[in-house]
Amino acid sequence: MFDINKVQAAPSKDLLTPDNSVMLFVDHQPQMFFGTGSGDRAAIINSTVGLAKAARAFDVPAVLTTVAADSFSGPLLPQLAEVFPGQEAIDRTSMNAWEDEALVAAVRATGRKKIILSGLWTEVCLVLPALSALEQGYEVYVVSDASGGVSPAAHEHALQRMIAAGAVPVTWVQVLLELQRDWARQESYGAVMEIVKAHAGAYGLGVVYAQSVIGAHAAG
């Protein structure tokens, strides 16, 4: 029940923070990208790398997983692997990542309840673990633009199915800025601006322009 006397300047507990989240990257692999037709593949790769850099900038634990890497799908996306040097991806045989003991153990070990989920394909490799994790009490945030399905309809219908089950659709820039949340947080401000400039398209160009103008005025 609403009580105006309890209104205060404080963040919602529903917000993603560096302390309550874990990122799960599922099957960002060549063979999976070959079959992705829901959106521009280069854009999905760009969003995925931007999301991964957000995890690194805020020390959010990241779990990387692949399926049949040696026999069918190929290695983890090189651009993604570069963000987490030395970290091995958990390779599986199961289409449902949440049926792999090692993967579930890795997520459980982080102690985080909010899973920021992305991967290929939306209608299989995201739906299955999303529904499974939700059933076990996790909160799932699906990064739609860092994910893709075999067709626009497959991607959209999968998102709808996850939303109906309780998952929350987000975008990678939304995740980045929600983790930052306050521009006064100087310890992460510089890293966020670099990620934005490298991966956020027109927004990033706007930052480059603003910094150049401010720098020119400051020099003058």
Q: Which amino acid is at 55?
A: A
Q: What angle do CA 60, 126, 171 make, to 5 degrees?
A: 55
CB atoms within 10 A of CB 157: 15
**Closest C-alpha to 64, from 84, 46, 49:** 84
Give the helix ranges, DSSP H, for the chain.
Answer: 30-34, 41-57, 78-83, 101-110, 127-135, 152-165, 172-180, 186-199, 201-219
Could you give the residue numbers annotated as active site? 125
CB atoms within 10 A of CB 85: 6
Residue for token digits 């079959």? 35
CA pseudo-torsion sign 25, 191, 193, 15: positive
- Distance between CA atoms of residues 132 and 3, nearest Å: 36
Q: Do 145 and 175 form a contact (C-beta atoms < 8 A)?
A: no
The packing angle between helices 172-180 and 41-57, to 10°, is 20
